[in-house]
Structure 1
Amino acid sequence: MPNNNLDLIDRKILRALQANGKIVIGELAEKVGLSPSPCARRVRLLEQAGIVKGYTAIVDQKKVGLPISAFASIKLERQREEDLDRFAEAVARWPEVVDCYLMTGQRDYLMRIVSADLEAYERFLKDKLTRLDNVASIETSFALGQVKRSEALPIG
Structure 2
Amino acid sequence: MLDDTDRRILRQYQAEPGAPSVELAERAGVTPSTLARRLAAMREGGVLRGVRGVIHWPALGYDVEVSLRVTLDKTAPRAFDEFIAGARGVPEVIEIQTFLGSIDVRLAVIARDLGHYQSLYREKLLTLPHIADVEALMHVALVKSDETVPL
TM more than 0.5: yes
Contact preservation (8 Å) 2:69, 2:134: yes
Amino acid at match of 1:145: A
Residue 136 (structure 2) aligned to one of 137, 140, 145? 140
Residue 43 (structure 2) aligned to one of 43, 47, 53? 47
1:65 counterpart residue number: 61
2:110 counterpart residue number: 114
Amino acid at match of 2:150: I
Alignment partners' CA distance in 1, 2:68 and 2:122: 13
Unaligned runs of 5+ in 2: none
Does residue 24 of the first structure (1) align with residue 20 of the second (2)?
Answer: yes
Aligned with 2:49: secondary structure? coil
Contact preservation (8 Å) 2:82, 2:129: no
TM-score between the two structures when normalised by the length of structure 1: 0.87
Deviation at 1:81, TM superposition (A): 6.3
Does residue 95 of the first structure (1) align with residue 91 of the second (2)?
Answer: yes
Alignment partners' CA distance in 2, 1:79 and 1:112: 25
Alignment partners' CA distance in 2, 1:140 and 1:13: 40
After the TM superposition, which of the residue ranges 5-14 and 140-149 deviates more from structure 2?
Answer: 5-14
Alignment partners' CA distance in 1, 2:15 and 2:117: 32
- Give the share of equivalent positions with the same residue, in percent: 27
Amino acid at match of 2:115: E
Contact preservation (8 Å) 2:76, 2:130: no
Alignment partners' CA distance in 2, 1:35 and 1:56: 25
Alignment partners' CA distance in 2, 1:27 and 1:79: 56
Does residue 155 of the first structure (1) align with residue 145 of the second (2)?
Answer: no
Deviation at 1:104, TM superposition (A): 2.2
Aligned with 1:18: secondary structure? helix
Residue 78 (structure 2) aligned to one of 82, 85, 106? 82
> RMSD across aligned C-alpha pairs, in angstroms?
1.7
Unaligned runs of 5+ in 1: none
Contact preservation (8 Å) 2:73, 2:79: no
Change (3 A) 1:88 1:22: same
Deviation at 1:94, TM superposition (A): 2.5
How many residue pairs end up in the alignment?
Answer: 151
Superposed CA offset, 1:65-120 (max 9, x none): 11211010001011766321222222223321222211122210112111111111
